[in-house]
């Protein structure tokens, strides 16, 4: 029953690998049109939209073409030039772009910054060619994502970019969703691409209920339990445990590297550099020369340690998100509610949880699930409510009814009970307790 304290980035149960990269949710500034996805009705920004973002790889040659395209359209939008290569349709979102630009400028001014702001990405309408040859999206959109040939084209600028197979598969699935998402292509000023899907399906009206109960824990990561309730019957399945990546050590080492580089302190430098190598999975001896070149070497190692820390955290978030998306889509016949006992403390680790939480909320909006923060205690007996006694590490026993449970697992079950109380769903509450009586040891692991 002992859980290793420092499980090195291992997940007790690994979530599925994301089929396509889950990336940062586009940040929406107040008052802007959400990334130009679809023209908003009555000029009101849409609320409650969920997003998915893919970043197709772009070859060097295509990046140059895309930079030219970017500059052409920006210059045209800003009135610097009056001629436009390619169809007028490329400027379909010019107005939205200008608004975004004004907004960025305004924010910079308010923040007291004087350097000119970076120009926001362009938005370009997209159509898809499906594997069967049918076309989805606006028939005259200048960007074609050809899922039959596995390429993205912007003909007027000669851009033909091959797409990875995993991305093609993901986009086929996305196009077949009901309701189908809105898509738009973003071209950044540096010639990179982002394909953004957005949608806000109505909450499902179904008799079956899927509760995804997630307990956040600072040191122990996320614990999840799945509960399906239908026809007065309940099915309970242990979900994965997503142990947090072992990034805290990297962060500490990075901080030490940085301060050693800044202060020029050389004591135990060799040991510090060796530890950094170890964390970066490089088994090698520190040479004398590296110690002479210390500040530069330290800064370089600092950058690499930070990059690895960010990568570990990002991969962790992606695993959580991919698992939840798969779970919600696999239960398309049920009304899905994601219950989260949120950690409220403010630490570096809680920042990581906050970021994954934001992704889960976005996912719920996109998949038509509900996100509901709820409190639940892992110390109270889920059966009778008495305060448990800790009999082993994170294992509790009820002095009144004798039930034993693992604190994190019980917390997820308590979330479902609290949800039943909150929604006055007496049948759900009753069958959950019945289930617990029949499986008294189920919350032990
Ligand atoms: Zn009890």
pLDDT digits (tens, 9 = 90+) for 207-262: 899 999 999 988 788 999 999 999 899 999 999 999 887 777 777 888 877 777 77
Determine the pLDDT at residue 265: 61
- What is the average per-residue pLDDT within 111-125? 87
CB 37 within 8 A of CB 182: yes
* 2: pLDDT strictly greater than 70: no
- The answer to whether position 97 is within a domain reads yes
Q: How far is the CA of 229 from the centre of ligand 1 (A)?
A: 23
Q: How far is the CA of 45 from the centre of ligand 1 (A)?
A: 50
- The answer to whether position 422 is within a domain reads yes
Determine the pLDDT at residue 30: 36
Say if residue 114 is preceded by a cis peptide, omega within 30 of 0: no
Same domain? For 352 and 258 the reply is no
Same domain? For 387 and 283 the reply is no
- The answer to whether position 266 is within a domain reads yes
* 202: pLDDT strictly greater than 60: yes
Task: Compute the distance between CA of residue 426 and CA of residue 428 in angstroms, rounded to an integer.
Answer: 5
Least confident of 3-7, 207-211, 301-305, 334-338: 3-7
Task: Compute the distance between CA of residue 313 and CA of residue 246 in angstroms, rounded to an integer.
Answer: 9
Please give the residue that has the higher pLDDT: either 117 or 318: 318
- The answer to whether position 353 is within a domain reads yes
Q: What is the CATH number of the domain that holds 424?
A: 3.30.420
- The answer to whether position 3 is within a domain reads no
Cβ burial of 207 (10 Å; 0-12, 13-18, 19+) is exposed
Task: Compute the distance between CA of residue 144 and CA of residue 165 in angstroms, rounded to an integer.
Answer: 16
Q: How far is the CA of 397 from the centre of ligand 1 (A)?
A: 8
Q: How far is CA 173 from the centre of its chain?
A: 19
- What is the average per-residue pLDDT within 47-54? 89
- The answer to whether position 165 is within a domain reads yes
Q: How far is the CA of 442 from the centre of ligand 1 (A)?
A: 14
Determine the pLDDT at residue 191: 96
Same domain? For 237 and 378 the reply is yes
Q: How far is the CA of 322 from the centre of ligand 1 (A)?
A: 36
Q: What is the mean pLDDT of the chain?
A: 84
Determine the pLDDT at residue 292: 63
Question: For the chain, what is the domain count?
Answer: 3
* 364: pLDDT strictly greater than 60: yes
- The answer to whether position 347 is within a domain reads yes
Q: How far is the CA of 280 from the centre of ligand 1 (A)?
A: 47
- The answer to whether position 262 is within a domain reads yes
Q: How far is the CA of 410 from the centre of ligand 1 (A)?
A: 12
* 31: pLDDT strictly greater than 60: no
Same domain? For 181 and 234 the reply is no
Q: How far is the CA of 395 from the centre of ligand 1 (A)?
A: 14
Same domain? For 90 and 186 the reply is yes
Determine the pLDDT at residue 344: 81
Q: How far is the CA of 385 from the centre of ligand 1 (A)?
A: 6
Determine the pLDDT at residue 351: 81
Q: How far is the CA of 392 from the centre of ligand 1 (A)?
A: 17
Please give the residue that has the higher pLDDT: either 350 or 324: 324
Least confident of 118-127, 144-153, 209-218, 265-274: 265-274
Q: How far is the CA of 4 from the centre of ligand 1 (A)?
A: 28
Hey, is 443 helix, strand or coil?
helix
User: Which of 278, 308, 338 delimits the end of a domain?
Assistant: 308
Residues ≥6 apart with Cβ < 8 Å to 328: 210, 212, 336, 363, 367, 369
Same domain? For 158 and 296 the reply is no
Determine the pLDDT at residue 341: 93
Determine the pLDDT at residue 23: 35
21-to-54, 123, 353 alpha-carbon distances in Å:
6, 20, 19
Same domain? For 96 and 228 the reply is no
* 12: pLDDT strictly greater than 60: no
Bridge-partner residues for 212, per DSSP? 226, 338
* 157: pLDDT strictly greater than 90: yes
Q: How far is the CA of 237 from the centre of ligand 1 (A)?
A: 22
Provide the angle, in degrees to the nearest 10, between the axes of the packed helices 247-263 and 348-367. Answer: 130
Q: How far is the CA of 62 from the centre of ligand 1 (A)?
A: 65
Task: Compute the distance between CA of residue 183 and CA of residue 126 in angstroms, rounded to an integer.
Answer: 6
Q: How far is the CA of 121 from the centre of ligand 1 (A)?
A: 57
CB 408 within 8 A of CB 217: yes
Q: How far is the CA of 375 from the centre of ligand 1 (A)?
A: 19
Q: How far is the CA of 273 from the centre of ligand 1 (A)?
A: 52
Determine the pLDDT at residue 291: 64
Determine the pLDDT at residue 293: 61
Q: How far is the CA of 429 from the centre of ligand 1 (A)?
A: 16
Q: How far is the CA of 391 from the centre of ligand 1 (A)?
A: 14
Give percent of the chain with pLDDT exceeding 70: 87
pLDDT digits (tens, 9 = 90+) for 365-413: 999 999 999 999 999 999 999 999 999 999 999 999 999 999 999 999 9
User: Which of 180, 199, 218 delimits the end of a domain?
Assistant: 199
Extract the tokens encoding 172: 């086929």
CB 190 within 8 A of CB 315: no
- What is the average per-residue pLDDT within 62-77? 93
Determine the pLDDT at residue 253: 81
- What is the average per-residue pLDDT within 170-186? 96
Q: How far is the CA of 393 from the centre of ligand 1 (A)?
A: 19
Q: How far is the CA of 234 from the centre of ligand 1 (A)?
A: 21
Same domain? For 117 and 265 the reply is no
Determine the pLDDT at residue 92: 86
Q: How far is the CA of 413 from the centre of ligand 1 (A)?
A: 14
User: Which of 177, 199, 221 delimits the end of a domain?
Assistant: 199
Q: How far is the CA of 387 from the centre of ligand 1 (A)?
A: 8
Determine the pLDDT at residue 192: 97
pLDDT confidence bin for 194, thresholds 50/70/90: very high
Same domain? For 273 and 128 the reply is no
Q: How far is the CA of 355 from the centre of ligand 1 (A)?
A: 35
Q: How far is the CA of 440 from the centre of ligand 1 (A)?
A: 11
Same domain? For 189 and 264 the reply is no
Same domain? For 346 and 301 the reply is no
pLDDT confidence bin for 18, thresholds 50/70/90: very low
Same domain? For 52 and 66 the reply is yes
Q: How far is the CA of 437 from the centre of ligand 1 (A)?
A: 11
Q: How far is the CA of 181 from the centre of ligand 1 (A)?
A: 47
From first CA to last CA, the distance across the chain in angstroms is 7
Extract the tokens encoding 211: 């509760």
Q: Which domain holds residue 291?
A: 247-308
Extract the tokens encoding 286: 């520190």
Q: How far is the CA of 389 from the centre of ligand 1 (A)?
A: 11
């Amino acid at each position: 029953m002992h859980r290793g304290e420092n499980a090195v980035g291992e997940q007790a149960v690994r979530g599925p690998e994301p089929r396509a990269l889950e990336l940062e949710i586009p940040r929406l500034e107040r008052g802007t049109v959400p990334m130009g996805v679809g023209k908003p009705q009555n000029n009101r920004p849409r609320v409650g939209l969920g997003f998915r973002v893919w970043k197709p790889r772009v070859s060097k040659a295509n990046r140059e073409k895309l930079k030219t395209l970017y500059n052409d359209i920006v210059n045209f939008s800003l009135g610097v030039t009056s001629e436009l290569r390619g169809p007028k349709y490329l400027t379909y979102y010019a107005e939205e772009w200008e608004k975004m630009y004004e907004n960025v400028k305004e924010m910079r001014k308010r923040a007291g910054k004087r350097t000119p702001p970076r120009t926001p990405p362009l938005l370009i309408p997209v159509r898809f060619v499906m594997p069967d040859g049918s076309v989805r999206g606006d028939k005259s959109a200048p960007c074609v994502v050809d899922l039959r040939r596995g390429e993205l084209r912007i003909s007027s600028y000669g851009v033909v970019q091959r797409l990875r197979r995993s991305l093609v598969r993901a986009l086929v699935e996305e196009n077949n969703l009901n309701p189908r998402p809105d898509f738009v292509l973003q071209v950044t000023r540096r010639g990179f691409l982002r394909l953004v899907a957005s949608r806000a399906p109505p909450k499902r009206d179904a008799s079956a209920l899927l509760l995804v109960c997630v307990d956040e824990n600072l040191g122990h990561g996320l614990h999840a339990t799945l509960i399906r309730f239908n026809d007065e019957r309940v099915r309970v399945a242990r979900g994965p445990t997503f142990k947090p990546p072992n990034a805290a050590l990297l962060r500490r080492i990075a901080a030490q590297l940085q301060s050693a580089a800044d202060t020029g302190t050389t004591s135990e430098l060799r040991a510090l550099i060796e530890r950094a190598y170890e964390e970066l999975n490089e088994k090698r001896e520190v040479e004398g020369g590296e110690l002479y070149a210390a500040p530069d070497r330290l800064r370089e190692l600092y950058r690499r340690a930070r990059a690895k820390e960010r990568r570990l955290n990002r991969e962790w978030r992606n695993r959580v998100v991919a698992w939840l998306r798969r779970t919600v889509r696999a239960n398309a016949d049920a009304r899905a509610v994601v219950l989260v006992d949120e950690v409220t403390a403010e630490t570096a680790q809680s920042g990581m949880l906050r970021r994954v939480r934001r992704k889960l909320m976005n996912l719920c909006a996109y998949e038509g699930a509900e996100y509901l923060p709820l409190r639940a205690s892992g110390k109270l007996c889920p059966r009778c409510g008495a305060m448990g006694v800790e009999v082993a590490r994170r294992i509790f026993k009820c002095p009144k009814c004798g039930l034993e449970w693992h604190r994190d697992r019980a917390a997820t079950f308590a979330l479902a009970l609290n949800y039943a109380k909150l929604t006055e769903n007496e049948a759900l509450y009753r069958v959950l307790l019945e289930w617990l009586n029949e499986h008294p040891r189920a919350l032990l692991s």
